Structure 1
């Protein structure tokens, strides 16, 4: 009997990068942009070809606004002061075809003697790089073990969870735009449209698969799910863009919302959103969510 294809499939490799603080320093609450710069700087100097593919994929595709990038930065939770000896841990998640550059990325980061982070450029040194979910050691003390860099597949989330109630927490700013404006009244259809679109664009560009019929059906079902409560709020934030040489509005929605109804067919999409994020600027860490069912 032919095995039924999953409703979606895409390999991803989470790299947990752990830096040790060498000098006490104060850092911004949200480090997505800062850590994006740390990784980008290391690749640009140590492995330009890898940098071009991973960080400039949009430019390689004609600089179209909606070309999705093949990686995600997941910054740590906010911490105002890092004391000497503290660890700064973040995840770099490679998606699809970008996984083939994993060894170049690990090598490039490992070759940097120390990273100057924050406005005062205080020193942080690489302690190790682990597989982000299995915690196998990929790099430590000048030793590299790429066998520990085992990819995973989002197809594991295709199993449905029985659920009639769900709480969704926005861990980092969620930036969903419609007609050029930031969406602040986020509902279930908006969330499901965002994640199905994200899976579609990632699999089209970087390998993998999505069942379009199931995705379309999920969007239809989402329109019948009622919003229970919403405690979302607008988090005002700006970042300085080195490319544009100006401050850029980076505001997004934080908080939590609940919804009720027959959620079971939607749970695979909500679960995979925990890995792939939703909305814009996931490469800087935006759009990270957590889900609780009952």
Structure 2
């Protein structure tokens, strides 16, 4: 049996604009900037000056969270244990008094890290969010409610109600047992039909193939990046490397043969070309990727479904921390697919 010792917490913050807030086309890039600015201002105000101090970068939890680089001691790519999550159809102009919501996923069980991110996400509106307004300030946002959401079911649990200031910590996190249960149910739905799996790319999904961004949602590179990201998150912030039948998961043995057998049968994606700004590297950042839907087919989805379902939590591809690469899965019938 596959064991992925990872835990995820999906928080949804609801609030209202105290002053007008203006975003670029992709709101989450500005939210991530506000989140990191608050973390540094509140918990590590000298962090930017200490970028070349290896000891500080290693010991400071905020610097490790925001800018730790791989010195060769960590297997895989360095991952950040969080990801912002935009809500559907979020406007780019919020007037004073209007509601505004966003999501934040946190990976792992590090209580200190969770507290840092909770405080920062709840308080970043005090420093300002979005583009600079005519008065020279950024928009102000006040958070009044926090929910915990299950990305597999959509079920929501309120952990801070309006009027409260304390977040209840006994919420239900997402774990591998829930993923396996959902995978079993989804596999049955797929097998009962045409084994057609629809993947909805909810936010720009940028997958690199041979150093170029993909132009078509081919399954193999998508599956490879999904598995690599889950492996790294589990190893770096979970309970260790995922295991299958008592052995560490090996992509060439346990993933590639099944991913190779998957066929893209419908493609209704388009490229959304958006940009953001990275304060860490000091330059504009390309965030564009595919959005829309793609339909895939294979004889047996069971070896792949747990990984694909984890991707609905972890995101996939470039700029996951900025909300890119959000996906959703569903079983469909042949009548709903358009052949490519």
TM-score band, normalised by the shorter chain?
0.7 to 0.9
Confirm whether residue 103 of structure 1 aligns to residue 140 of structure 2. no
Residue 230 (structure 1) shift? 0.9
Q: Does the 8 Å contact 1:71/1:98 carry over to 2?
A: no
Query: Closer, same or farther in 2 for the Cα pair 1:176/1:11, shift >3 Å?
Result: same
User: Which residue number in structure 2 is paired with residue 70 of structure 1?
Assistant: 81
Report matched runs for 1:182-201 at 5 Å.
Answer: 182-201=213-232
Q: Does the 8 Å contact 2:67/2:280 carry over to 1?
A: no
Residue 112 (structure 1) shift? 5.6
- When structure 1 is superposed on structure 2, of 44-53 and 208-217 the one drifting more is 208-217
User: Matched residues in 1 for 2:61 and 2:172: separation?
Assistant: 19
- Give unmatched runs, 5+ long, in structure 2: 45-59, 151-155, 333-340
Q: Does the 8 Å contact 1:103/1:146 carry over to 2?
A: no
Report matched runs for 1:49-60 at 5 Å.
Answer: 49-58=60-69
For the residue of structure 1 that corresponds to 2:128, the secondary structure is strand
- When structure 1 is superposed on structure 2, of 203-212 and 97-106 the one drifting more is 97-106
User: Which residue number in structure 2 is paired with residue 274 of structure 1?
Assistant: 312
User: Which residue number in structure 2 is paired with residue 210 of structure 1?
Assistant: 242
Deviation digits for residues 237-283 of structure 1 (CA, Å, limit 9, x no counterpart): 22223233332222211121111222431222221111111112110
Pairing partner for 2:204 from 173, 177, 180: 173
User: Which residue number in structure 2 is paired with residue 137 of structure 1?
Assistant: 159
Confirm whether residue 153 of structure 1 aligns to residue 165 of structure 2. no
User: Matched residues in 2 for 1:45 and 1:135: separation?
Assistant: 30
Query: Closer, same or farther in 2 for the Cα pair 1:153/1:99, shift >3 Å?
Result: farther
**Coordinate RMSD, CA, aligned:** 2.7
Pairing partner for 2:26 from 24, 30, 39: 30
> Which structure: greater strand fraction?
1
- Give unmatched runs, 5+ long, in structure 1: none
TM-score relative to the length of structure 2 = 0.76
Q: Does the 8 Å contact 2:3/2:176 carry over to 1?
A: no
Query: Closer, same or farther in 2 for the Cα pair 1:276/1:111, shift >3 Å?
Result: closer
User: Matched residues in 1 for 2:74 and 2:250: separation?
Assistant: 30
Q: Larger Cα Rg: Structure 1 or Structure 2?
A: 2
TM-score relative to the length of structure 1 = 0.86
